[in-house]
Structure 1
Amino acid sequence: MAAPSDDSGTMERASEEMGAVLEKLKELGAKPIHTLTVEEARTQPTPADAVKALLEEQGKSTEPEEVASTEDILIPGSAGDIPARVYTPEGEGPFPVIVYYHGGGWVIADLDVYDASPRALANQAQAIVVSSHYRQGPEDKFPAAHDDANAAYEYVVENAGSWNGNIDQLAIVGESAGGGLAVSVAMHARDAKLIMPDAIVSVYPIAGGETDTPSYLENANAMPLGKADMDWFFEHYLSSAEDRNDPRIDLYDEADLSGLPPTTIINAEIDPLLSDGEMLAEAMTAAGVEVEQRTFDSVTHEFFGMAAAVPLALEAQNLAGEKLRSAFADE
């Protein structure tokens, strides 16, 4: 989760509720991420902290959205165990299964920072959600996070039954860096001839290595994510400039997207990654993939998990839930 960049009209363009979260984030002392060390960026207040503080100020509940149960697990990876969390909804099951990848530019954030989204997805889709962490840069450079994401998917496919999951109803969801990982993992599943997901939901994905797209230029100094912040992420995760052209990073220009399942791409208007989502949708359509891309106006990067404070986040979650339920019903 990125911290605030120098404001460039974000507050004027944001909805009242979105603006209140961003104001609270500034009050908590969050600084532009590109001005920080990695350790500082990992420990400073997050947008999730801002939502909680705002709810507390408004006298509203700060309790997380309820699910039937959560369980922290470890997934075997090529370089060690990968922390993950299993969210189970109310009901009898067996349940559909969602593999979820959090954001943070492959450098910051963890399962706790991105706790709200998998809870919402579990309830929206009436599915078990396995939220998987992954190795992060600069300690573990590209493709470490991508390799861990693939390992997590393979493990969930093999072990879903132990959580009362039905692997015949399977989806991949991710946010930001995780949004790109979700598509990359689906490509890996196709190429490795694994069980394919029935759907992908990619929320404001990092889908390319270029930072001169229309939305990067328009939202260069947006909050809570700006162009300099994205360059900081690339610098800390990628080993070289050439990695920006790897098909696992540059999904819209370099990747073979053919044969992927129906995909929903959710974007925020005030976000340098908006064009990434639009161009990914165009590339997927050209590759014959059924895709819907929708941009939510007056909200910023990181809005998806903010349903407790930002009504448009609930609308986005409703869209994701609708698409996932429809995909599962077709199986």
Structure 2
Amino acid sequence: MLATSVALAATLTACAPGRGMGMKPSAPPPSAMAPMGMTARPDADMQAVLDAQSALGAKPIETLTVEQARAQPSPADAVNRVKMIMGMSTAPDAGVTTVDLTYPTGGTTQPIRVYKPAGAMGANLPVVVYYHGGGWVIANLDVYDATPRSMAKNLNAIVVSVEYRKGPENRFPAFYEDANNAWKWVQENAASWGGDPKNIAIAGESAGGNLALNVAIAARDGGWTQPKAILAVYPIADANPQLPSKVENMASLPLRTPTLGWFGQYALRSPADQNDPRYNLVAADLRGLAPVTIVNAQIDPLRSDGETLMTALRRAGVPVERRVWDGSVHEFFSMADVVSDAREAQAWSFGRLRMALR
């Protein structure tokens, strides 16, 4: 979504997404008093995080330069602020250990972080390869530390979080090349960490959810070991700028529709890249993929991407389950320490991965 997304009229449209969960009793209903360009209000615990990020000085990403956007307070910083206010520790969970390594790609190397349950001994632990979000422009392994850490602990698995080249320094398709190279590198090295390279799944958030599905497609086509399961959390999947959630969420935070255009401006070479099936996943050949789990937030311009992706996967004969969490926004998934919807979403999606990795 480039200029076409930015130019969308901020007309509110009523849309009932294909929810896997109903409205929670405590969730405020959609309200005429919601900010212009947003059709629903966040739950109280979700709003507390948004308020914390605002208090830290965060601004809408599309109003910033790339350097400013990369440096400003992140949703992870906001979660830590909420935890401090609540008297909770902000230290990383000691139940998981990490090792920072690098993998070769694009004539250089990129960071990769291996998470392992503390005290895990022996070989043949399940493995999950995880790709973080940030629109292929911002964020890094530290910003997206919470999800792979929680995944390692709850799945008793080795989780490998992948860094990749970003735009504008390295535009499309550099990040796809890196994602594929990281997958193959993990296959070659997982046994040295006590992991089983055959008992493996793939996961990602936002832009990383898109990468996860693309790696699964590349593994199918390249004859590499394929993942047993795919977890895509609010993935970028559909280039159509007129999808309902993109019209509804012109003002949602931390991600709103104009931000998608900002990401495209810096991540893609030109608007034509939106038509590439790697970006526009709903047009890709999705046949033969492992079962897919899709997590979406109600107040998110990418909610409808999850819905159209689910339809495309089913049309291709791929088993897929999707749930939408009402009252939550983009980035909620990593906030399990302070947001109840995140705890529910992790429990559900990690449970599906656990079944596949037996």
- Bucket of the pairwise TM-score, normalised by the shorter protein: over 0.9
AA matched with 1:229: T
1:8 to partner: Cα distance: 3.8
For residues 168 and 141 of structure 1, the distance between their equivalents in structure 2, rounded to whole angstroms, comes to 32
Higher relative contact order (CA 8 A, sep 6+): 2
Does residue 100 (structure 1) correspond to residue 138 (structure 2)? The answer is no
C-alpha distance in 2 between matches for 1:79 and 1:7? 47
1:120 aligns with 2:150: yes
2:98 and 2:85 mapped to 1: Cα distance? Answer: 28
Q: 1:225 aligns with which of 223, 244, 255?
A: 255
Distance 2:107 2:304 in 1: 34
Of 194, 202, 215, the match for 1:172: 202
Q: Deviations over 1:104-134 (max 9, x none)?
A: 0000000000000000111121110000010
Name which one, 1 or 2, has greater alpha-carbon Rg.
2
Q: Which amino acid aligns with 2:229?
A: A
Q: Report the alpha carbon displacement of residue 82 of structure 1 after superposing the two structures with TM.
A: 1.1
Aligned residue in 2 for 1:36: 64
Cα deviation 1:16-48 (Å, max 9, x = unaligned): 100000011111110010010000000000010
1:328 matched residue in structure 2: 357
Kindly indicate whether residue 290 of structure 2 is the aligned counterpart of residue 300 of structure 1: no
Q: Where does residue 268 of structure 1 map in the other structure?
A: 297
TM-score by length of 1: 0.95
Whole-angstrom CA distance in 2 between matches of 1:195 and 1:54: 41
Cα distance, 1:36–1:136 mapped onto 2, change above 3 Å: same
Does structure 1 residue 13 correspond to structure 2 residue 41? yes
Take 1:222 and 1:213, find their aligned partners in 2: how far apart are those partners? 15
Deviation at 1:7, TM superposition (A): 4.9
Name stretches of at least 5 consecutive residues in structure 2 with no aligned partner.
1-33
How far apart, in 2, do the equivalents of 1:22 and 1:10 lie? 14
Unaligned runs of 5+ in 1: 1-5
Secondary structure of 1:304's counterpart equals helix
Aligned to 1:3: none
Amino acid paired to 1:279: T
Contact 2:129 2:183 in 1 (8 A): yes
Aligned to 1:291: 320
What letter corresponds to residue 310 of structure 1 in structure 2? V
Secondary structure of the 2:357 match is helix
| CA distance in structure 2 between the partners assigned to 1:265 and 1:220 by the alignment | 22
SS of the residue corresponding to residue 185 of structure 1 reads helix
Shift of 1:66: 3.0
Quote the residue 2:235 is aligned against: 205
Aligned counterpart in structure 2 of residue 157 of structure 1, from 180, 184, 187:
187
Q: Per the alignment, do residues 43 and 224 of structure 1 end up closer, same or farther by CA in structure 2, a change over 3 Å counting?
A: same
Where 1:222 maps in the other structure, the secondary structure is coil
Q: Does 1:74 align with 2:118?
A: no
* C-alpha separation in 1, matches of 2:308 and 2:189: 35
Distance apart, 1:228 and its partner CA: 0.6
| C-alpha separation in 2, matches of 1:137 and 1:288 | 34
Q: Which amino acid in 2 is paired with 1:152?
A: A
Aligned residues: 323
TM-aligned CA deviation for residue 299 of structure 1? 0.3
TM-score by length of 2: 0.88
1:182-225 deviations in Å (ceiling 9; x for gaps): 00010000010100000000000011222221000111211110
Structure 1's 29 and 324: CA in aligned 2 closer, same or farther, altered over 3 A?
A: same
Quick one: distance in 1 between partners of 2:335 and 2:35? 20
CA contact (8 A) 1:8 1:222 kept: no
Q: Which whole-Å CA distance do the structure 2 matches of 1:232 and 1:43 have between them?
A: 16
